Amino acid sequence: MRSRLKLIVSYDGASFSGWQSQANRNAIQDHLENALQRICSEPVRVHGAGRTDAGVHALAQCAHVHLPSRRYEPDRWVYALNGILPPAIRVMRCRFVSQAFHARFSAKGKTYRYRIWNAAVLPPFENDRAWHVVNPLDFDDMVVAAKEFCGEHDFASFSANRGTPETNTVRIIRAVRLRRAGPCISIEFDGDGFLYKMVRMMVETLVRIGLNKLSRQDIKARLGHPQKVISRGRIAAPPDGLFLVRVRY
Amino acid sequence: MRSRLKLIVSYDGASFSGWQSQANRNAIQDHLENALQRICSEPVRVHGAGRTDAGVHALAQCAHVHLPSRRYEPDRWVYALNGILPPAIRVMRCRFVSQAFHARFSAKGKTYRYRIWNAAVLPPFENDRAWHVVNPLDFDDMVVAAKEFCGEHDFASFSANRGTPETNTVRIIRAVRLRRAGPCISIEFDGDGFLYKMVRMMVETLVRIGLNKLSRQDIKARLGHPQKVISRGRIAAPPDGLFLVRVRY
Nearest partner of A193 among A177, A172, A212, A175, judged by Cα: A172
Q: List CB contacts (< 8 A) between B87 and chain A.
A: 122, 124, 127
Is the CB of B10 less than 8 angstroms away from the CB of A125?
A: yes
β B131-132/B109-117 pair status: parallel
% of chain A beyond a pLDDT of 70: 95
pTM value is 0.94
Strand blocks (E) in chain B: 3-11, 46-48, 57-67, 89-97, 109-117, 131-132, 151-154, 170-181, 184-191, 242-248
β A170-181/A3-11 pair status: unpaired
Residue A90, C-beta contacts closer than 8 angstroms, at least 6 positions apart: A9, A10, A11, A82, B121, B122, B123, B124
Q: What is the ipTM of this complex?
A: 0.92
User: How far is B47 from chain A, CA to nearest CA, in Å?
Assistant: 21
Residue B248, C-beta contacts closer than 8 angstroms, at least 6 positions apart: B107, B108, B109, B110, B111
What was the pLDDT predicted at B229? 61
Phi, psi angles (nearest 5°) of residue B233: -65, 125
User: How far is B36 from chain A, CA to nearest CA, in Å?
Assistant: 18
Q: List CB contacts (< 8 A) between B93 and chain A.
A: 121
From the list A90, A121, A125, the residue facing B123 with the nearest CB is A90
Residue to substitute from A92, A240, A242, A244, interface B, most B β-carbons within 10 A: A92
β A170-181/A184-191 pair status: antiparallel
- Which residues, given as ranges, of chain B have pLDDT below 50? none
Indicate the range of A167-171, A178-182, B164-168, B239-243 predicted with least confidence. Answer: B164-168
What was the pLDDT predicted at B233? 58
What is the DSSP code string of B6-45?
Answer: EEEEEE-GGGS--SS--TTS-SHHHHHHHHHHHHHSS---
Distance CA A15, CA A128 (A): 10
Is pLDDT of A232 > 60?
Answer: no
- B120 to chain A, any CB pair closer than 8 A? The answer is yes
From the list A90, A93, A124, the residue facing B90 with the nearest CB is A124
Distance CA A190, CA A225 (A): 23
Is the CB of B124 less than 8 angstroms away from the CB of A88?
A: yes
Q: What is each CA distance from A113 to A149, A215, B121, in whole angstroms?
A: 15, 22, 22
More confident residue, A244 or A227: A244
Distance CA A112, CA A106 (A): 18
Told to judge if A53 belongs to the known catalytic residues of this protein, a careful annotator would answer yes
Distance CA A209, CA A206 (A): 5
Q: pLDDT digit string (tens) for A138-159? A: 999 999 999 999 999 999 999 8
Which residues 8-27 of chain A have a CB within 8 Å of chain B? 10-12
From the list A90, A124, A129, the residue facing B88 with the nearest CB is A124
Is the CB of A124 less than 8 angstroms away from the CB of B93?
A: no
Q: Are A15 and A57 in contact (CB under 8 A)?
A: no
Is the CB of B90 less than 8 angstroms away from the CB of A123?
A: yes
A86 burial class (0-12, 13-18, 19+ CB within 10 angstroms)?
Answer: middle
Phi, psi angles (nearest 5°) of residue B4: -105, 125
Is the CB of A89 less than 8 angstroms away from the CB of B12?
A: no
DSSP-derived 3-state class of residue B196 = coil
Is the CB of B92 less than 8 angstroms away from the CB of A125?
A: no
Q: Which neighbouring-strand residues pair with B172?
A: B152
Q: Are A142 and A209 in contact (CB under 8 A)?
A: yes
More confident residue, A68 or A10: A10
What was the pLDDT predicted at A107? 97
Catalytic-role residue among A12, A53, A141, A192: A53
Is the CB of B87 less than 8 angstroms away from the CB of A127?
A: yes
What was the pLDDT predicted at A163? 66
Distance CA B65, CA B45 (A): 6
- A123 to chain B, any CB pair closer than 8 A? The answer is yes
What was the pLDDT predicted at A63? 98
What was the pLDDT predicted at B42? 93
- A171 to chain B, any CB pair closer than 8 A? The answer is no
Q: Are B171 and B195 in contact (CB under 8 A)?
A: yes
Is the CB of B125 less than 8 angstroms away from the CB of A129?
A: yes
**CB neighbours (10 Å) of residue B23?**
8
Which amino acid would we find at residue B109?
G
Q: List CB contacts (< 8 A) between A8 and chain B.
A: none
What was the pLDDT predicted at A71? 77
Q: pLDDT digit string (tens) for A96-134? A: 999 999 999 999 999 999 999 999 999 999 999 999 999
From the list A90, A93, A120, the residue facing B122 with the nearest CB is A90
B-chain residue closest to A85, CA distance: B124
User: How far is B79 from chain A, CA to nearest CA, in Å?
Assistant: 8
